[in-house]
Amino acid sequence: MKKNNVHNQMRTYHRYLGYFLAGIMLIYATSGVILIFRDTNFLKHDKVVEKQITPGLDYAALGKELRIKDLKVESDDGSTVSFHQGSYNKQTGKAKYTVKELLPFVEKLTRLHKASTKDPLFFLNVFFGLSLLFFVVSSFWMFLPNTTIFKKGLYFTLAGSLLVIIMLLL
């Protein structure tokens, strides 16, 4: 295969894979931005949870069992522990509390970034990651190496890489 043919083939693959992945990138980018705000109440709603747990738990064990970080007890009358999110009956083990949950569709979106090897989305993530890697490599075939735009592209690549390295070191 001639050098010019490799150049044209890479451009063609880059173009059509780019069109194919445009929708995936749009959705993946949106879910990534939403995850940035995961420690806020952005796009979350209240959900009341009633749960039967072990009676007689101390405060630390209660927070761990309910998965509430930094559980702060507001009052304890001996039988009922009240905390900001709800209450817990020490005798019966019944807990009733409110949690903030992402809206169902938004929760599904954020699963894109959280997928593990046990999740079917794992295959989409691997495909997407490899496709982005191909984009990086194939972008260097978009212009001939001896052109000014190619050389400027190398500077931008270096600048982008340095930006990420600096941000990681901060």
Helix (H, G, I), strand (E, B) or coil at 51: strand
d(CA 99, CA 71): 12
Give the pair of three-digit tokens for residue 131.
Answer: 């496709």
Tokens representing residue 88 in the block? 């817990």
Q: Where are the domains of the chain?
A: 3-39+105-169, 44-102
Q: What is the pLDDT of residue 2?
A: 59
Q: How far is CA 55 from CA 51, 61, 82, 114, 116, in A?
A: 11, 11, 15, 33, 34
**What's the confidence (pLDDT) of residue 3?**
60
Which residue has tokens 């999740």?
A: 119
d(CA 167, CA 101): 30
pLDDT given for residue 141 in this prediction = 84
91 DSSP assignment: T
In the predicted model, what is the mean pLDDT of the chain?
92
Mean pLDDT (10-residue bins), the chain, 170 residues = 75 90 91 91 95 95 93 94 96 96 91 89 92 90 89 94 96
Which residue, among 112, 106, 142, has the nearest Cα to 129 in the 3D structure?
112
Q: What is the pLDDT of residue 68?
A: 92
